[in-house]
Each structure stands twice: as structure tokens, then as C-alpha cells.
Structure 1
Amino acid sequence: MAPATTSILTALSVCSQALAAAVEVSLAATTVSPVNSVANASYFVSEIQQLTDSVLRTLGSHQSLFNFGDANLSLPAVGTCKVYPGDAAWPSTSQWSVFNQALGGALIKTVPLAATCYPAWSEYYNQTACEEISDDWTVSYLHAADPASIMWPLFEGRSCLPTDIATSSNCTIGGYSSYAVNVSTVAQIQLAVNFARNQRLRLTVKNTGHDFNGKSTGAGALGIWTHNLKDIEVYDDYRLGDYRGPAVKLGAGVQAFEVYEKAHELGYTAVGGEGKTVGVAGGYVLGGGHSPMSSVYGLAADQVLALEVVLANGRFVTVTEQSNSDLFWALRGGGGGTYGIVTSLIARLHPKTPVTVSTFSFATSTNVTADTFWAGVDAYMKRFPANADAGTYAYFWIIKLGEESYEFLMNPYFAVNHTVAEFNALMAPWFAELDCLGIPYSPNTTYYDNFYEAWDAGFPLETVGSVTMMTGSRLIPRENFVNATLFHQTAAAFRSTVSAGYSLLAFNLKAELPAGYPASAANPAFRTTLMHAITSTSWYRNATNTEIKATMDTFTYDVLGEWRKTCPDSGAYMSEADIQEPDFQQAFYGDFYTRLYALKQRWDPAGLFYAPTAVGSEDWEVRSLDGLPDQNGRLCRV
């Protein structure tokens, strides 16, 4: 595959030799001691390169570009927009060049992945490369390894797609960031934060781009790409506050498969996502993070013991429960792209854990009517409390095959700390009901003596890249499965959804805060949930923007509206939710929102960090170019 990005070092005007020399001195002067007593763990090599006031003074007349923020910042006036390409205030070529020099050549000018398919991008046009991009478009590794691309390009604005799925003959940068910094040091993040704030630029942060709503993209933005912060350090006996035990320090770019491999190698189990390429220390943990281990150990956010963070004022700080309790609380579950940029975090590790994995299915047939099929599904959902309380995690689908024709797919059942015999005993009551109903099923069940091999075998690589669908979700609380009236209402809502042609993808889990763990800002709805339910809608490839928006609205207010009625006081998981979620403050943050918003004003008073549905995002609007809820347009204060 041909490179989709290029350094602008040679494309921009080169600064004077004097400036280059000054920057060389600056970079050398940023080296600090690796000892960090606040976190009781050494800084990574990437973290000992820091920006300081003394370094800024070496930049002479260019210092104002990179000064730290002061205490008098506030939100801009209503109607004020972030500086946009083409504006008079957009940084000059020489300023971008100065910035790139200060970064050590780490600035990347965005070239969309699919630019290889378009002759107008003559420098990159290559039919062979285009075919490779098209073939890999739905593979998450492709988008994670690019500084601007996201997993769901619908929310960038579909501005440059492979020609086999494109509805336009044009390829533009669209809602992707205009530039990105390929981060390898904390100093580079600090420089980028200060440059964006001082130049009034929109700022985005991308790790992998997994968020369902494209939070890591934005038209005209300067992007900070943390994907290559891949350091991992394991501590067998980590001590901080009241914690004593094994822990792992993760760079912001470490993905689930990487930390799982490392933990397995050393005889531990880490808590991370079920998706292989999810960036664990990025928006996943910051948004809460459900996991195949959640029914045993809680959310990923609950595991965090310390974080290294670049704040909106450009300062680099260590955040722990002891050193900064409010920010420690907010960062763990209060949303990504909100309070600061995490460069690394330290999280608990757990003992080697056995898992039994099982897959099976059942469907309507000549002998199994639709009513019988749904009776089998209801029998399963009634077991949600017992199954989650046993520490298990299940990932299943219910899909419509045709008129009154359905299929249930368990893919997989992930029985943590269960032998095959114990799994069979747990399933026995449900399987007995399926037998009584005359529903055939054939479990394929395997025992693994460790989490890593079970996870690797049980969860396939995620499929991404669609521009003809959107998803929405709901956290369904325990009460809905133990209260008979609520259960019937909930079961009827799911049957209605699937019968109308919307597939149901769901997880049976619990995510209670473990005893003795510090409280976090994770959505309170997680603490009572037994089901994370997801569905989606779609449209034809050639649908107009007006038709797409109408489909979205029907989905948001009618389809998902029926789900909300079953549990109006619950919420949804922000990273896998409907971007149009009504009252997102309550849905994604619950009763914590008032406190979180106050902390936003304290730590980011000028609103440097913006992401759709993030805390404080209601203070801004994206003036979308296509009328859809995407990031392809100016970001302006409301």
C-alpha cells in the first residue's frame, strides 16, 4: 500500500539556520529526570522530553506561537468560530514551518487514504494502491495506522472514499484534520496544544479512530496522533495509595491485542476491549470501556491508578487519586477529548484467568415458529442476572431472515473462570427450556486456561468503514430483567425492533464498581446494567443527504425511542451510541454531568478540547456542509 501521508518538512519554507539551531537546543533542554515520584513509576522515554518555560525563551520572536496558557482564558464570544483554512488568521506557511521545525519534522499534511484513487491527487494517484486501499477499507488496522482516517467516515463527511463505494467523483480533505502531529514525545503534544490554542485552531486527538461517532476528526483541525506511543511496562509489585499488586503502564497508542499479548506473556490478565484494534489508553478508557472481564472486574476505567496528561494550558501533569482527585475522577469515564491528552496510564493487572468459550445458534424453521423462537430468546434474557452474576460475558446477535423468520447467533459466550462442566451447568436451565420448546442448537465449546487465547479465538476482527449505516445503543438495567412488567415491555421492544428489520447486537454483562476501587465518572447507568444493546439503520448508497437525515431521525426518535421508554432513567455507552442521542448529557453522563461540566470550565475554560457529545460540546456547533451530524464544517461558539 502506498503511503497515504507525507511530511510537510520539504513542502513548507525552511526556517533560518538560527531558528533551527535554537530548536535543536530547545529539544535537548526538554530532557528531564525519568523519576516520577507522584506516580511511583518512571516516565517513558517519550515523556522525559518536555516543553518548559526555559525552552520557550530560546525561541525568541517565535515564542508567542507556543506560550503556555494563562489563568485568564475563557470561552470565546458567541458566534466566534475556530480559525479555518482560507481565513485571514489561518497560520502562514512560515508559521507552519516554524511549528514543524519545533516538532522536529513530525508535522503531517493530511492526504486522505483514498486519494490514491483520484487523478486530481496526481502525486498520490496509483491504481494498484487504490485497489489495495479498497480491498482493506473495512479492516480496522488500515484506519488505525493513518494519522487522520477514522473507522466510520460517515461522520467525517464521506469526503474521499474508495471509488467502488463513493457517491462523488471528488476527493477532498473534508472533515479530516488539515494537519496532524505524529507524536513521539510529550513535548510535541505540548507544542501542538499551545500552537492550536494560541492560533485559535480547532484541535482533535486521534489514537485509533474507533469511536462510532468520529470524535477524533474535524474540518480544519490540527490533529494530535498518539497512535505510535506504544511503550508497555509491567510492574509485578506496584504501590500507589492503597493499591498493592501487579500493574501495567501503557502508552496512549497501545491497542488491545498488544497489551493482552504482553500480559499473557508475563502470566497476567489485563482489562481491555473485545475489539482487537481498540486503543486502550485513549477514548476507550476515558469513556468507561466495557470489557469481556467487566462482569468480574468492572470497567476499564475502574482499573486506572495513574495518568500522565497534557492539559489545555499545555502543562504536563501526573494525575492520581492522591495528587489531583477531581481530575482523576473525571478522566476515568468522563469522555475522551475533554480535559486533556493522556500520554500514558497505569492500570491494575489481574491473575491468569481461565475461560470457556462457546458459540451456537438457533433459528425459526418448519418446526420452530416465530413465537417459539422468541420464547427461546425470552428464556435466555431471563437468565441475564444469573449469568452476569456468575462473571460471564456474552456477545450475541438476533437478525431477521425474512417474514417471521429469525436467527439467534451466540458469537461468543465468554465464560470467565468457568470450566466446560461449569459452563454447561450455568447454561442448563436455558438449554432445558430450548429443549422443551423443540428448538435445536449445537454448542461448540472450548476451554482455555488463559484469557488471551480465549479472547483471540472468540472475538473476530471488527468490520469498519461503512458509510451507509449508523448505530445506536442503550444500557438496559437489571430491573428490566427481574421486574415482570418491565421484562415483558423490554422483550416486546426488542422483538418489535428486529421484526421491523433492525438487527440486534448485544452484550450480557454487568459493570459494577468493585469493592475498594475509587469512584469514577463512568456513566452511572453502567453500574446497574445487564445488557448493552445495539442496533443500526442503513440507506442506499445513492441516497441524498436529505434522505439520509430522515432515516437517521426515524432511527433516533422512533426505533431507539421505543428502547428508551423501557428504561427512561438509564443511558447509553457514549463510544458506541447514536450521535443524535436526545439529552446526551443525561444519557452518557447521568447525574455526573453538572460536576463534569464544572470541571470542564476549570481545566479547559476556553474550550480547546471539543468532540461531539463530549462534556461542554453544547457550547459549540459544527456548521456541517451537508446538513448531516458530521464534522465537515466550521466549529463555532453558540
Structure 2
Amino acid sequence: MAQAIRAVTFASLASLILAQQINSGHGPVAATPGTVLPAAAVVPASSTAAGAQLFQWESLQLTQPVLANLTNMNLTNAALFGFPTTSLAPTSQCKVFPGDAHWPPPIVWEILNLLTGDALTQVVPLAAPCYSGWPEYNAAKCASITSQWSDPNLHVNDPSSTQWPLFQGLTCLPPSLRSSSTTCTLGGYASYSIEVTNVAQIQLALNFARNLNIRLVVKNTGHDFADKSIGAGALSLWTHKLNDLKFYPNYVHGSYSGPAFKLGAGVETADVYLAAEQNGVTVVGGECRTVGLAGGYIAGGGHSPMSSLVLSMEVVLPNGKFVTASATSNPDLFWALRGGGTFGVVTSLVIMAYPKIPVTTMTFDFTMSNTLSADTFWAGVRAYMTYFATFTDAGTYGYFNIVPNTSGGFTFTFNPFWGANMTKPQLQALVAPFLGDLNNLGIPVTPVYTQYASLYPAWKASFPPEVVGGFNNHAASRLFPRENFVNPTLLNATLAAVRYAIEAGGILVGYNIKAATNSHANQNNSVNPAWRNTLTHFILPALWDNDATFAQIQAASETLTNDWMAKWRAASPGAGAYMAEADINEPNFQQAFYGSYYPKLYALKKQIDPYGLFYAPTAVGSEDWYITGQIPYVPTQNGKLCRKP
């Protein structure tokens, strides 16, 4: 295919496209400054089964008339960008990789760039300005990047950078952060990226990658512990600019009637919480400010879980088709997309909104000391665990840490205890028995209560911008079920497993949380069934120095998976973990991340994506693939993506 396209020069193709209107009769698509006319048709904005109009950029789509015009313009292999005529997967074992004979030459990439409206770029690592071997070398810019490395917005606003770069391979870090960083290479970053601003670009990219057997990845914010948005030799879709947001005071769809938001895929937690505040409602979302609510958060069934509150979704399928997924349109796809991972590229979704509610928070800490022994400290932690069911049944959310302190002991901190729809007196009454138990143990605490009129100011005050960019830890997690905290024997086993890991060198990031039980929250979706019975989401990072070797990282990661987490799994047999904040080395990830739904999800994956276009570590169907040259327990994305024999 690529050989035939070489005869079509970039200039001649530009001339051909500019000479014709690439549209389906609804008027031309205007070129923007510095770009040529993209290969897109304008379809009516009301063309959706979801009851909410398409965003303007969703009405720019790739259609058969557009492809026919490409053929009519003598683009010999217009089929390179066309929809599939068969559901057969490519026969080659591995995805095409840079340097392979079938890797597209530069002119083919330039044609893709032209058809997407000048949206394609070659990926440059974020830290490249720190290295003289890159044309981007700039000492002042390097200093600025280094100083901002832990700021999530730095990575969110870069088309390729990930917020947790361990599985990228650490091949291009600011050198002052890691002494062994003396060179800069792409490593696990994609080769090319498209800054997506319309649906047609996604369709062209999916068709191009599928027809040429190129690895495809999707990046929104890059907020995922397993670095799922990267991949060496890949074409990347950067969806972060799809950040439109619209409020519907009276949205009607199916059995739902009430307020709702339509969110573009790039909308972040902070954006939608602010919009809800401004419109006098509440929405359910994540804790971290830069999480993409309509991206991987929904696909993985994120904390809350919000995915049960989704009413409809617009999505581009692996075959390049743009469809609506809802309870009445493509219901199997709708089920799978809410918790089951990547089955397509979601461009927008509609979520329910609720009335404004007051929030009261509580913070305090207690620390091991000369007057507070280790056993008493852990007795205080156990006292809190005995209230996990009581507190979550009352609608609260506990966010806490157990970390080493400078005196060689540990500190427990609420960050905060969150009382949704509670006044200060109500929260004080709820926690009084727990505080009494701490007092009886001889653990003095000084709670600080703050009452807020609504969610937004409470969230803004309680959760500062997250710190990211770290490569000195690797996290695992577990969803412990209710029985582990109401059965004294299981409670003791759970506490012993947690204490063992922390005293061995880990830290605990804890959430006392449970899934909502109202009728809307019990909608049928593919969210890990373990969420329905959990009272906790416990995250356990293993730590090492910034300059640790990969052998040292490997040893720490193996200890995390096979020692610390083995005890957690033994204390909660049959439970699971939240896939976006979990161990990439999780044994039997199919059960841990998807539970009993995995067989159905796997069958749907084969039906919807028989081409093997969408791959990500621990995603549905990922067991059919491997990455060449991986390091045991530190599986970077630096090699070729190949099918298992």
C-alpha cells in the first residue's frame, strides 16, 4: 500500500483537496489559519440517539462520500483511510514498528497530517529541551520543565507525557532528577500524535492504524498508574482538547428526567465540579483535579463509581464508525464502556446531576511517639476500621494515609473525613463513638470540622492539586469487602496484612468508601462487581530512591506483588482491585479488575474489535499480546506489540 502512495506528492494532494469540497452536501468545512481543508463531512448536530445535540466538532465526521472524493482525486490508495471491508485481523504477528520494512514513509504520514487538518506531529519527549542531542535543546526551558515536573498540568497539557513515567522506561527525564539520565529517547512514548479536535480525525486515525497494522494509543490526561496511554511505535490520539461542557436543566432520556451535563472527553474533574456549582447542582466525580471524567475514569469504573450515572455516550468504534451507546442504542457496548475498559474512543457522554448538598469535613492525625506505642497506634487504626460499615452506610467517605515519620514510627492522617449532605452537628454526632474509642485507648486527637454550603468549595479546600511525575514508587491496591470489617476474625487478618506491609516499608493511601445504593446507581454496567461489596479502596506503594537501578526497582516491585499484596489477597479471597490504581503485575488481573464480567467482556472485545486495534496493559484481551524486551515486574512499553502464538 505505502509504495503506491509515494507517487502522490504532498503538494499535489494538497492542491487536489483544496480544489474540491470534501463534504457530503451540507456545505464546506472551513480551513483554519495555517491548515488545509481536512477530510471531513458536516452532519446535522442533531444526529444522535442520545437526546443531546452533538458538539459542533462531533458533527465533523468521515463519511463514505468523503472517501469517494479521495478516490476520485486519484489518491491511489484512498482505501488506506477507509472503513474495513472485512472483520479479519491482520495476519502478521507484530504491529509494524519504526525501522520495519512496512513502516510508513514520511510522505504517508504527511498525507495523514493533511487529511486531519495539520493535526499530526512527531512526538518529542517533554524533557527533550534538557538534552543537546535534540533540536529542542533549551537550557532555560529545561529548568522550567524541571521545576514544574510534579505539577500534573505540565503533563496533562503535553500530547505524549504521562503523569507516572515508570513504565515509559524512564528514557527522557530531566537529568537533575535522576543521575543516570544522560540521554533522551522516545522509549515507550508514541511515534506520532494527533491533537484531536473533531471526530473525523479520530476516524481517519483508527482507519489508518488498523489498515497499516500500526499500534494505536489514546491519551487524555495520562492519569493512570500503569501508563496505559503510551506505547512505542504507536500513533497516539490526544483527546484532551475535546473539553466542551453543556448543562441541560431538564434532560429527558429513557426513564430519566432531570438535570444533566454533556461532557467532552477532555473535561477534567475541576471543570465539571465548577460548572455544577455555577448551575446549582452536584455531580459525582473523582478526587484528583486533572482526572478526565469522560475518559479513562469512566472506562475503568472510577471512584464513586460515577460510571453508573452515565446516560449515554458518543464513541468511535475500532471499525471507524461513530455511534451512540445508551440503554436503547448499542446496549451491549454501553454496558461494556462503563467499567470494562477501552472498546472505542469516547468523544462525549451525558451524566446525571443532583441537587446541591452541604458537606462537612473533619481532619485530625495521631502519631507513634514515646507515649503512643506501636501496638496502641495500630489499635487506633483497628478502632477506625470497626466503623467502616457504619460510616459508609451513613454516606460518608474517609480519605486517610499511614506514612512513616521522622522519629521512625508512623502517622495516621485524615485528608479528610468527608460528610456528604451533613451539617457539622450531624457529623460530630456520627463520629462521637469512634472518637470516644480513641480516647479510651489513650490516643489524643483534636478534630477540626469545617462546614461548606456545597460540594465545590469543600472539594477545592480539601483536595489540593495532586503531585505527579514520580518514578520512585510503584503502587498496588485492593478492594476489601464489607465482611472483612464486620467479622472480627477477618478484621484482625486484614489489619495484620496491612500492618505487615507498612512496617516492611510501604505506605497506605486509604479510602473508606462504598458504591451508592440508589436505583440509578444500580444500573446494569460492567463496573467490577467487587465495588458493589467493598468498604475500602486501599493503595499500597512500594518505594525506592530516584536513582535506583532497574534491578532494584524490579526487586521492590516483585516484593510488592508476591509478598505484601499476596497477604492482602489472602485476607480477601475473591475480592478485586480498581484497575486504574492497581498493580500492573496483578496475578489473574482478569478476575481482580473485572470479576465475573470478564468472559462477557472478552467475548464483546472479540466481536467489536476483531482487528486487535485497541490494546493497553491489563485491558480486556491484553493477555493475547506481549511487548518485546520487557523487564520482569517492570513491564515497560518500549518494545514491539506482538500477538502471542
Kindly indicate whether residue 61 of structure 2 is the aligned counterpart of residue 46 of structure 1.
Answer: no
Counterparts of 2:382 and 2:191 in 1: how far apart (Å)?
A: 50
Aligned mate of 1:81, from 94, 103, 106: 94
Deviation (angstroms), 1:168: 2.7
Contact 1:301 1:522 in 2 (8 A): yes
After superposition, the Cα gap between the structure-2 partners of 1:55 and 1:560, relative to the gap in structure 1 and judged at 3 Å, is: same
Aligned length: 615
Aligned to 1:235: 248
- Confirm or deny that 1:491 pairs with 2:503: no
| Cα distance in 2, alignment partners of residues 567 and 152 from structure 1 | 28
CA distance in 2, matches of 1:252, 1:17: 30
User: Which of 475, 479, 483 is residue 483 of structure 2 equivalent to?
Assistant: 479
After superposition, the Cα gap between the structure-2 partners of 1:322 and 1:22, relative to the gap in structure 1 and judged at 3 Å, is: farther
Runs of 4+ in 1 over 6 A off after TM superposition: none
Match of 1:606 among 591, 594, 611: 611
Q: What SS class does the counterpart of residue 16 from structure 1 fall into? A: helix
> What does 1:334-483 correspond to in 2, within 5 Å?
334-335=340-341, 338-401=342-405, 405-483=409-487
- Contact kept, 8 Å, 2:403 with 2:412, in 1: the verdict is yes
Deviations 1:160-193 (A, max 9, x none): 0001123231101111011111000000000010
Instruction: Provide the secondary structure at the position in 1 that maps to 2:248.
Output: strand
Equivalent residue number for residue 84 of structure 2: 69
* Match 2:15 to one of 18, 25, 31: 18
How many angstroms apart in 1 are the aligned matches of 2:613 and 2:13? 31
| The one of 39, 44, 67 aligned to 1:56 | 67
Deviation of 1:524 (Å): 0.4
Question: What is the rounded CA distance, in whole Å, between the counterparts of 1:404 and 1:113 in structure 2?
Answer: 37
Aligned residue for 2:525, secondary structure, equals: coil
The answer on 1:319 being equivalent to 2:325 is yes
Query: Within 5 A, what are the aligned runs for 1:85-484?
Result: 85-121=98-134, 123-166=135-178, 167-290=180-303, 294=304, 299-335=305-341, 338-401=342-405, 405-484=409-488
Q: What code does the residue aligned with 1:154 have?
A: L
| Contact 2:402/2:508 (8 A) holds in 1 | yes
Displacement after TM superposition at 1:512 (Å): 4.1
CA distance in 2 between counterparts of 1:547 and 1:55 reads 54
- Match of 2:535, SS state, is strand
| Structure 1 residue matching 2:259: 3-state secondary structure | strand
2-side partners of 1:372 and 1:554: how far apart? 27
1:536 match: secondary structure: strand
**Superposed displacement of residue 323, structure 1:** 1.1
What is the distance in 1 between the residues matched to 2:635 and 2:164? Answer: 13
SS at match of 1:177: coil
Question: Could you tell me which residue of structure 1 aligns to residue 597 of structure 2?
Answer: 592
Paired with 2:546 and 2:261, the residues of 1 have a C-alpha distance of 44
Report the secondary structure of 2:174's partner residue. Answer: coil
Q: Deviations over 1:519-550 (max 9, x none)?
A: 11000000000010011112233333223212
Q: Residue 34 of structure 2 aligns with which residue?
A: none
Show the counterpart of 1:35.
46
Task: Report what 2:514 is aligned to.
Answer: 510
Deviation (angstroms), 1:228 = 0.3
Q: Structure 1 residues 88, 619: CA separation in 2 closer, same or farther (over 3 Å shift)?
A: same
Structure 2 gap ranges (5+): 1-8, 30-39
Letter matched to residue 67 of structure 1: G
Closer/same/farther in 2, CA of residues 524 and 513 from structure 1, 3 Å limit: farther
* CA displacement, residues 456-479 of structure 1 (integer Å, 9 cap, x when unaligned): 001121111111210000000000
Q: Which residue of 1 aligns with 2:36?
A: none
Contact 1:22 1:58 in 2 (8 A): no
Asked if structure 1 preserves the Cα contact closer than 8 Å seen for 2:497 and 2:564, the reply is: no
Identity %: 50
Deviations 1:389-412 (A, max 9, x none): 111111100123368722100011
Q: Deviations over 1:28-81 (max 9, x none)?
A: 36001011351011000110000001100111224122011234323645xx11
Return the alpha-carbon distance in structure 1 between the equivalents of residues 412 and 130 of structure 2: 39
Relative distance call for 1:148 and 1:513 in structure 2 (3 A) is farther
Asked whether the equivalents of residues 107 and 181 of structure 1 are also in contact (C-alpha less than 8 Å), the reply is yes
Pairwise CA RMSD: 1.5
- Contact 1:76–1:637 (CA<8 Å) still a contact in 2? no
Contact residue 174 and residue 181 of structure 2 kept, 8 A: no
Matching residue of 2:4: none
| Structure-1-length-normalised TM-score | 0.94
8 Å Cα contact 1:269-1:350 kept in structure 2: yes
Contact 1:208 1:279 (C-alpha < 8 Å) held by counterparts = yes
The offset of 1:438, in angstroms, is: 1.6
Confirm whether residue 525 of structure 1 aligns to residue 530 of structure 2.
Answer: yes
Any idea what the Cα deviations from partners look like across 1:284-307, whole Å, max 9, x if unmatched? 0110011xxx3xxxx110010000
CA separation in 1, counterparts of 2:148 and 2:393? 40
> Residue 566 of structure 2 aligns with which residue?
561
1:434, CA displacement in angstroms?
Answer: 1.1
Between 497-506 and 272-281, the greater mean CA deviation after superposition:
497-506
620-629 vs 149-158, which moves further: 620-629
1:369 deviates by 1.3
Over residues 563-585 of structure 1, what are the superposed CA-to-partner deviations in whole Å (9 max), with x where a residue is unaligned? Answer: 00111100000000000000000
Q: Distance in 2 between matches of 1:574 and 1:23?
A: 47
Deviation at 1:513, TM superposition (A): 5.0
2:356–2:454 CA contact under 8 A, matched in 1: yes
| DSSP 3-state at the match of 1:218 | coil
- When normalised by structure 2's length, the TM-score is 0.93
Structure 1 unmatched runs, 5+: 1-11
Q: CA deviation at 1:23?
A: 7.3
Letter of the aligned partner of 2:42 in structure 1? T
Q: Distance in 1 between matches of 2:400 and 2:260?
A: 31
